[in-house]
Amino acid sequence: MPNLEPPVYKSVRAVGILKPKLSQTPQGAFGTKLDVIGTAFWLKDHKILITCAHVVQNLVGAPIEITGLLALGNRGSYTQAIVDCMDFAHDLAILRITDEGQISQIEADGLTLADSVPAIGT
């Protein structure tokens, strides 16, 4: 059966913050919970993710103990990322995955930059 999902479904990632929290569970003293703060889109040819600058602006310059760890996820699989650069004038930010092994697992799925505007529904 062919996959009928639009390509954007495979390229979208949840942008979230992981903060360890004291937890009284049998699994350990600390639990983690992903707080989703936005979305990003994987550009496979450039191996970067694009999101809005306002989504990640509070993470830049503050200690990780306060902000938490930037994480990207898709369908339950998460990886660490960093903010590479931000353009506040255009409200854009570039995120980079820190683990090269994770890039090889997702690089086939993603969007490409087009030279023209495609027809609606393409």
Listed as ranges, residues in the chain with pLDDT below 50 are none
Give the amino acid at 12: V
For residue 90, the model assigns a pLDDT of 96
pLDDT score, position 3 = 65
What is the predicted pLDDT for the residue at 5? 73
pLDDT of residue 102: 63
Look at residue 116 in the predicted model and tell me its pLDDT: 86
pLDDT at 38: 94
DSSP letter assigned to residue 9? H
45: CB partners within 8 A, 6+ apart: 110, 112, 113
CA distances (Å), 6 to each of 102, 120, 122, in order? Answer: 22, 12, 9
Residue 84: predicted pLDDT = 92
Please provide the average confidence, as pLDDT, over all residues in the chain. Answer: 80
